[in-house]
Amino acid sequence: MDIIAFVAGLIVGIVVVSIAVEFAWKKSVPEKTCKLTKKWNLNELRNALIVAEKLHITPPSDAKVVVAAPTPLAKNARENPSVIGNFVIGLNKAYIFAGEIKEGQIAVVTSDEDILKELRDMFYEFYKVKEKAVSYVPKKGRVRIRGVVRAVFPYRDGYLMRLSYEGGIVGVLLKERMDVEGRRVEVEGEVLEYPFINPYNITVLD
């Protein structure tokens, strides 16, 4: 009887160990982090970062975009002719496109953290190297200009940034005060009436 009990216990033990080993092996199998798809939707990605050689769709309103060629679908996109590749990065996944970003284009969707980090680094490298700022300010229209902030002081219902650049002095209209006196900045905006600029993006360069 003792022999039978011993054999039965041994068999049960072997089965339990086998199940445990199989379970551990299944857990150690790497999770699939990449797949091909044509069914993608950029609006699913909050605060998306978009790199495109050419963009054929309207990006989400909260996206940051850098393109190699200008596109009417993303008027506020930054232009950098050095851009290579087409990809979009979200918080926890990214789309890497086989060609230009357009409806029906095949893409690899990935959630691999190392790949996401690499793509983010690439985006910001392209994003910070923008087209050359102008050395003059037109009487009206869109402008991108770099210069040194000489002063920020109250003006009408807000503040005025006095910006010294290669071609002279301009005033940048601000809703709130910025502590940037003596700093070098880049201003993207619209010349309402020379020399006043209504900015939609101000970047501190140093």
Phi, psi of 63 (to 5 degrees): -85, 150
Phi, psi of 192 (to 5 degrees): -80, -50
**What domains lie within the chain, and their CATH numbers?**
34-128 (no CATH), 141-204 (2.40.50.140)
Q: What is the pTM of this model?
A: 0.52
Per-residue pLDDT tens digits for 79-101: 888 888 999 999 889 999 988 99
The predicted pLDDT at position 172 comes to: 94
pLDDT class of 12 with cuts at 50, 70, 90:
very low
Per-residue pLDDT tens digits for 146-190: 889 999 999 988 999 999 988 788 999 999 999 999 998 989 889
